[in-house]
Amino acid sequence: MEWPLNIKTLTTDELKAWLRDVDEKPFRADQIQKWLFCQQVRSYDEMVNISPALREKMAKQFSLRALTEDQHMVSVDGTVKWLFTTHDGYHIETVMIPANGRFSVCVSTQVGCAMNCAFCRTAKMGFFRNLEAGEILEEILNVNWYLKDNNIFNEEGEIAQVTNIIFMGMGEPLNNLENVHRVCCTLHNQKLFNMGAKRMTVSTSGVVPRIKELVDRNTPCCLAISLNSTNNEYRSSVMPVNNIWPIEKLLEAVDDYIRRTDNYVTFEFVLIQNITCTPKAAKELIRICAPRRVKVNAIILNDGDDPNLHAPTPDEVDTFLAAVRAAQVQITIRTARGRDILAACGQLAYKKNKDNQEAFERGHSLPDATPMSN
Ligand code: SAH
């Protein structure tokens, strides 16, 4: 049987159209979406002002829960990482990072990734499929459920809720733009999550035409670009996307984005010893950033499988940051969070999906996504 569409994937208008089709009142769409996104119910039965008959129609037509928690791990620093199983047996990861009163969630947008960046763990598993908008929203709802169930409070003394979303988990969000756009619109919707556009950041490896599309669609979000290197030859060697859209093209898209949105762009810059964390690289980064409305988010390499790529020493990092700051370019260093729970993108799901793929290639079917106890 084909897996039913996730009800959270639907826009209000789509839900209204379906209600009309099944002879129900379209205004119910607002009530249903309030249950889904404001009350954040976990089953249709909790929608008490919706008739049992309509609840049953919905349950027949749409899934409400598409992700099963496989495990979650809590770091000593409060970072939590989840491994979810999708309805078709794949594994994806979600990370919640509490910091400075904020509860940021790093969501996956695809199962695996096709971009094949040399330093990235997710790349090693290959690409399986896009996540549905409802599945991405469910990653976020799961975090809210966790905060509620564990009585985690915000600085105002209320039960905490997710405050910021970063589309920086597994996958290339701009290769799943239709669904990412839906997610941002639902999060931004004043009647639903009411999350400001500045609290959502979509990160791309540099899929240039889609950057323009993001502006054309007016997707409510900020933009981050994984620049990682200022040198075409090296960038192409670690990020194949650079062969199609080299740095000049990427910067044209960035300039166009800044001109049309009047927003900052964030450049993510992974610091790799002797490669991107050198005085020369700092100089090149300044040349690119100084004339633009950009901020740099430096990330220390999380050592992966490549024996040629290493994290820089703390002194090398400090020297790099000082050089960039001296040129008045804004740069912050993302401190490593949740190292004890392998919180970096793809580290956990990598192994699980790889096992699945091998089973698949051997002619076996994927393992069942039977619910596991948490
Ligand atoms: N595909 C999107 C989003 C996912 S990657 C993108 O490329 O932006 C999110 C961020 O993690 C990117 O900035 C990427 O450069 C960084 N990253 C990937 N692997 C890493 C590693 N091993 N160590 C540090 N950062 C890494």
- Ligand 1 atom 12: residue of nearest CA: 226
What would you measure as the largest C-alpha separation in the chain, in angstroms? Answer: 67
Share of the chain above pLDDT 70, in %: 90
Closest residue CA from atom 20 of ligand 1: 120
Catalytic site residue 93?
Answer: yes
- Nearest protein Cα to ligand 1, atom 13: 226
pLDDT value at position 345? 56
CA dihedral 178, 10, 191, 41 (to 10 degrees): -120
Q: Whose CA is nearest to atom 9 of ligand 1?
A: 168
pTM to 2 decimal places: 0.92
- d(CA 309, CA 321) in angstroms, rounded, equals 20
Residues 6+ apart with CB under 8 A from 123: 113, 115, 116, 117, 346
Ligand 1 centroid to Cα of residue 227, in Å, is: 10
> pLDDT (tens digit, 9 = 90+) per residue, 31-78?
999 999 999 999 999 999 999 999 999 999 999 999 999 999 999 989
pLDDT: which is higher, 271 or 342: 271
pLDDT at 159: 97
Nearest atom of ligand 1 to the alpha carbon of 170: 4
Annotated catalytic residue, options 93, 132, 135, 268: 93
- The finding on whether 95 has its CB within 6 A of some atom of ligand 1 is no
The answer, yes or no, to whether any atom of ligand 1 lies below 6 A from the CB of 353, is no
Cβ of 119 less than 6 Å from ligand 1: yes
For 111-145, what is each residue's pLDDT tens digit?
Answer: 999 999 999 999 999 999 999 999 999 999 999 99
CA of 120 to the centre of ligand 1 (A): 6
Q: How confident is the model at residue 328 (pLDDT cuts 50, 70, 90)?
A: very high
**304 CB near ligand 1 (under 6 Å):** yes
Tell me the three state secondary structure of residue 227.
coil
Is ligand 1 within 6 A of the CB of residue 172? yes
Please tell me the distance between residue 329's alpha carbon and the centre of ligand 1 in angstroms.
21
Catalytic member of 113, 185, 277, 345:
345
Best residue for ligand 1 mutational test, from 119, 165, 241 (most atoms within 8 Å of Cβ): 119
- Report the chain's mean pLDDT, rounded to a whole number: 91
Check pocket membership of 268 for ligand 1, CB cut-off 6 A: yes
Q: How far apart are CA 315 and CA 322, in angstroms?
A: 10
pLDDT-based confidence at residue 2 (cuts at 50, 70, 90) = confident
What is the chain's length? Answer: 374
Ligand 1: distance of its center to the CA of 155 in Å? 30
For the residues of 180-239, what is the DSSP string, one character each?
Answer: HHHHHHHHH-TTTT---GGGEEEEES--HHHHHHHHHHT-SSEEEEE---S-HHHHHHH-
**Tens-digit pLDDT profile for residues 91-118:** 999 999 999 999 999 999 999 999 999 9
pLDDT at residue 110 in the model: 98
Please, which residues have CB within 8 angstroms of residue 355's CB and are 6 or more apart in sequence?
Answer: none
User: Ligand 1: which of 168, 174, 210, 222 to mutate, judged by most atoms within 8 Å of the beta carbon?
Assistant: 168
Share of the chain above pLDDT 90, in %: 85
DSSP structure string for 124-157: GG-EEEEPPHHHHHHHHHHHHHHHHHTT-B-TTS
- Give the per-residue pLDDT at 231: 94
CA neighbor of 244 nearest in space, from 180, 175, 308: 175
* pLDDT tops 90 at residue 28: yes
CA of 279 to the centre of ligand 1 (A): 22
User: Using a 6 Å cutoff on CB, does residue 201 contact ligand 1?
Assistant: no
Quote the pLDDT of residue 303.
Answer: 80
Indicate whether residue 345 lines ligand 1 (CB < 6 A).
Answer: yes
* Residue 227, ligand 1, Cβ within 6 A: no
User: Which pLDDT score is estimated for 152?
Assistant: 96
Whether 211 has a pLDDT exceeding 70, the answer reads: yes
